[in-house]
Amino acid sequence: MSQAAEIELASVSKIYGSTRAVHAISLKIPAGSYCCFLGPSGCGKTSTLRMIAGHETVSEGDILLGNTIVNDLPPARRGTAMMFQSYALFPHLDLVDNVAFSLKMQGIEKPERRNTALEMLKRMQLEPYASRRPAQLSGGQQQRVALARALITRPQALLLDEPLSALDPFLKIRMRAELKSLQTSLGMTFVHVTHSQDEAMALADLIVVMNDGRIEQAANPRTVFERPATAFVAQFMGNHNVISGRVVERTGDMTTIEVNGGGRFTALGVPTHDDPHADFALRTDHIRLAPADDPGFGFTAIVQNVEDLGATVKLSVAGAGVEDFTVVLRDADYYRNPVKAGDAVPLSWARNDAIILGRVAG
């Protein structure tokens, strides 16, 4: 394989007519890392991937692969390869010819390209199926053929557009593990677009959370999970409550906010903006059903709903002007002292568990 390359986006924008799909994003993806672009439908992640691949023009800014600006290079000359959501296999060709296709385009002689394709099929444990056509394979096998076909050009970076979305939930988890071990063994830069938080958490060294054409946060999965940078990330990752209010006091590195018509809460950090409003995040699984030692680190809530999810129990509660607040308890903790809809419960958290969130510029 070729050497893995760093990918750099320098103030990259994508404009379609009057739609600005990507707003001047800047990012470095280290060589040999597994990067996941994560975000809801329409946030601009596919446009970004397609600009890196060369399937979409760059409206503004530069894309670098290693030290080379690749904006004006055609896809085949960038050193990247793309694996599509639909796998885009040729139905009338057997696996060897499917995998060898791009070598044929490069003018490599038939015996050599068939040998190289067979080697790649062996590596993907597909050798026994070499003479089959794609329709005679399972979804997971088709995915491996698509991977083999992308990797045969020895790219410096592999770009994957929702590569697991066509698979059933069981296969998805198995192929996810295969993708990760393939990337680790090849040491190649992988850039993978997904809207699944679990997928990004499981695979990525670097998660890039996008919203509305902008990067909300780019960090390792642990940081994104534990220290979301913005209210959007906290809500999108799904494991935090976000509480918004008016800033009423700042002391040292703590900020107190007042929720509309309700309680006052103190959170770690100071807002980085001048807005009189601020948001803080609080992990749903870091909340105790016990009174707070200090006001500002808890409230009394009315239970709205209880869902037993197996290993955990999820309570939806409201109170002190806070609606849609979620508490996730371990099953044993819940069943030691079960509560039901309509009960009033004291809630509290540790001083460092509520964290002031930032805003994305622009």
98 vs 211, beta carbon nearer ligand ATP: 211
The reply to whether 176 sits near ligand ATP by the rule CB under 6 A is no
* Single residue of 7, 35, 36, 43 touching ligand ATP by CB under 6 A: 43
Q: Which residues pair with 44 in a beta bridge?
A: none
| 37-45, 58-66, 107-115, 316-324 -> range binding ligand ATP (CB under 6 A) | 37-45
Q: Are 206 and 30 in contact (CB under 8 A)?
A: yes
How many CA atoms are closer than 13 Å to the CA of 329, on its beta-carbon side?
A: 22
The reply to whether 82 sits near ligand ATP by the rule CB under 6 A is no
What is the x/- site pattern for ligand ATP, positions 265-294, by CB under 6 A? ------------------------------
For 59, the 3-state DSSP assignment is: coil
Of 114, 174, 109, the closest CA to residue 144 belongs to: 174
The reply to whether 39 sits near ligand ATP by the rule CB under 6 A is yes
* Single residue of 28, 123, 180, 195 touching ligand ATP by CB under 6 A: 195
195 vs 264, beta carbon nearer ligand ATP: 195
200 vs 281, beta carbon nearer ligand ATP: 200
| 39-47, 93-101, 164-172, 337-345 -> range binding ligand ATP (CB under 6 A) | 39-47
The reply to whether 313 sits near ligand ATP by the rule CB under 6 A is no
Assigned token pair, 56: 């979409």
From CA 210, how far away is CA 25, in angstroms rounded?
10
For 231, the 3-state DSSP assignment is: helix
The reply to whether 47 sits near ligand ATP by the rule CB under 6 A is yes
The reply to whether 44 sits near ligand ATP by the rule CB under 6 A is yes
Q: Residue 91's CB: how many other CB atoms inside 10 A?
A: 8
Shortest distance in whole angstroms from residue 158 CB to ligand ATP: 18
* Single residue of 1, 2, 16, 338 touching ligand ATP by CB under 6 A: 16
Q: Which residue is nearest to ligand ATP (CB)?
A: 46
From CA 334, how far away is CA 90, in angstroms rounded?
54
129 vs 190, beta carbon nearer ligand ATP: 190
From CA 25, how far away is CA 14, in angstroms rounded?
10
Shortest distance in whole angstroms from residue 49 CB to ligand ATP: 8
Shortest distance in whole angstroms from residue 50 CB to ligand ATP: 8
The reply to whether 85 sits near ligand ATP by the rule CB under 6 A is no
SS (H, E, C) 104-173: HHCCCCHHHHHHHHHHHHHHCCCHHHCCCCHHHCCHHHHHHHHHHHHHCCCCCEEEEECCCCCCCHHHHH
| 3-11, 14-22, 60-68, 273-281 -> range binding ligand ATP (CB under 6 A) | 14-22
Q: Which residue has the tokens 């409201």?
A: 318
Q: Where are the alpha helices (DSSP H) in the chain?
A: 45-53, 95-105, 110-123, 139-151, 169-186, 197-203, 221-226, 231-237, 331-336
20 vs 123, beta carbon nearer ligand ATP: 20
Q: Which residue has the tokens 């894309």?
A: 63
The reply to whether 146 sits near ligand ATP by the rule CB under 6 A is no
Q: Which residues are at the interface with ligand ATP (CB under 6 A)?
A: 16, 19, 21, 39, 41-47, 195
